[in-house]
Structure 1
């Protein structure tokens, strides 16, 4: 009887310990970081939670970066920042297939969470996935697929999460951070610099840099958990899931840097010929200033009629000015309007003012606009002094 009692006392604790360890290791949660793709919407990379459930055998990915292309007025809503993104859930195998197909590298950081913390995070994600909670108003800098993950970690761990930020981090503006990713896409780079205003020339804090998946991956690698037993790193294990050889960089001569300088050289030649032959060649000026005016209207719409905070205070409007449409319309007329010379002087001042804003760091413009500014300065000067003096030819 005594020997049976000893066996029971020895076996029961063992059984209970096995049950406890099994339950303690139920969830294995990790951060997935995927490298940028070739399209603009994928140019900044991607982040998602991976949750492996030992009890059910499920291997799921919680993805905050999902949007529906079939949304009515999709592009209008995207432009106005009224488009909702949502949290979706898929199997890890299905998630991996897409990145394997597009040959985008994928890395995994397994989080060193306690059983209680892991359970709370899973409950948080499941609650977020409820139909009434899964949608959110997307903001590229402050509320995206990466920042949602960061915010979830801060919600679950609270003061126990220490990002362990660098004491002397490299200072970068939001625009410089974007440029790191869109440099291989010159037209996208030009479009972003045209559409976004001076507000993105502010320096980003270490926490704000986490809107980019690569920077959040680095932040997770530095972070530690405190006040929960011995201090430990947030990430306990790292691995590479998908790895592909680097893609060769392709040089496309059809880019704004080359195209605008070629245009500037042609305009210089046209201006010299026009001066010698006493001709204006106003067909070019009508087209050029009409395009600038349309770009100016786009800047006005993004600045005043959308909910994007990053499109405010956009001083590209100094050279791409909506009033240039009036200049184009005036040049269509055979008779020179009395106000036209004053407007040409005004356009000249605006273009010079854009250079002043750039030099003094009020806003950083895309480097390729230098030849466009030169064209504005050259043609407004030429028209100001010669519009009435030369015979104006009808546009062809």
Structure 2
């Protein structure tokens, strides 16, 4: 190689390295973690990446947790899990304005990345933001706003990132983890336990817990960068950006725990009165089994006709069964077929099997369904033994 060309290449390489190092050092990369909000969609918190370019003052937030409400058939796609989420970019100021408005705490972890790592991360985010790359199929547990950021870090840092996980962590199922966040929203808690199946009653690994922003924040705080000079923590600085006084969750008496027990006590009284007066009060059973049947249809649809992995093998169907709709229809007829009595026995046994599934831990049901199961067992028993006798009573 000619001496002049060699000098030129060395000079060019030095200048490029200097410019690259200065450019990369100009960026500050942070993980933003936002506290849960008061609504179900915000009950689990949020995560985003902040990219601050110091020389220009450009301060952007890359957010994997957004979707387009104008998507055709939005609610159908959301229900079936065919709705795509996307990576969006907003200014840091605009991002904070929303959380300030809703009074949700925001914390920042500034990452201790090398210039090369910063460049790879910024390049990856810019490429990922291109229209053809920004959309992805959202999955609450395995592919959401938090796990996407974790996966970005894994991809950019590779073997240089050591998550430094605990060797003997506290064991928690996915359902336990959800319950930590939805207990202030009792009806949402009830609905989630009704819709999600036994597949979430398994222990989550430390990595899998990172679908929740708080757990990913903790994971970032433990993580180390290795093989890039001396081993160092991934996070070099922690900041509190927004902080508000803790808000107490008011005790709402209209919740499933109280409501279903009051309902069960009233049904017990109705059944006792009906037994004494030899009346069925069949109108109640028509309404009750209609509601259970509709719930069963919903569970069936979520289990077999959507792409949600968490709604499979949902044994709530043992008590909220679609066939109860047929029972309700038959109870409206003047002449009731003989097989209805056999169906009542099936419904009674099925409800008891549900209790067995719960007792042995095959699926954790919401505690407030206990009174509903008692009502189901009571009424199927009552109808099984008295339907033919009391049906002859014109008042029945």
TM-score bracket, normalised by the shorter chain, equals: over 0.9
Deviation for aligned residue 1:73: 1.6
Match of residue 84 from structure 2: 84
Deviation for aligned residue 1:94: 0.4
Q: Secondary structure at the match of 2:44?
A: coil
Q: C-alpha distance in 2, partners of 1:91/1:162?
A: 30
Q: Secondary structure at the match of 2:75?
A: helix
What's the TM-score once normalised by structure 1's chain length? Answer: 0.94
Deviation for aligned residue 1:395: 9.8
CA offset digits 1:105-128 (Å, max 9, x no partner): 000000000011011000000001
Say what the alpha-carbon RMSD is for the aligned residues. 1.7
**Distance change >3 Å, CA 380–CA 44, structure 1 → 2:** same
What's the TM-score once normalised by structure 2's chain length? Answer: 0.94
Deviation for aligned residue 1:68: 1.3
Match of residue 217 from structure 1: 217
**Distance change >3 Å, CA 392–CA 113, structure 1 → 2:** farther
Q: C-alpha distance in 1, partners of 2:33/2:383?
A: 55
Match of residue 9 from structure 1: none
Cα contact 1:43–1:182 (8 A) shared by 2: yes
Q: Secondary structure at the match of 1:44?
A: coil
Match of residue 135 from structure 1: 135
Q: C-alpha distance in 2, partners of 1:61/1:97?
A: 12
Q: C-alpha distance in 2, partners of 1:63/1:24?
A: 21
Q: For 1:380-391, list aligned pairs within 5 A.
A: 380-391=380-391
Cα contact 1:260–1:371 (8 A) shared by 2: yes
Match of residue 51 from structure 1: 51
Match of residue 146 from structure 2: 146
Cα contact 1:334–1:392 (8 A) shared by 2: no
Deviation for aligned residue 1:25: 1.5
Deviation for aligned residue 1:71: 1.6
Cα contact 1:160–1:227 (8 A) shared by 2: yes
Q: C-alpha distance in 2, partners of 1:392/1:103?
A: 63
Is 1:293–2:282 an aligned residue pair?
no
Q: C-alpha distance in 2, partners of 1:230/1:379?
A: 70
Deviation for aligned residue 1:54: 2.2
Q: Secondary structure at the match of 1:60?
A: strand
Q: C-alpha distance in 2, partners of 1:20/1:371?
A: 67
Q: Secondary structure at the match of 1:367?
A: coil
In structure 1, stretches of 5+ residues that fail to align are 1-14
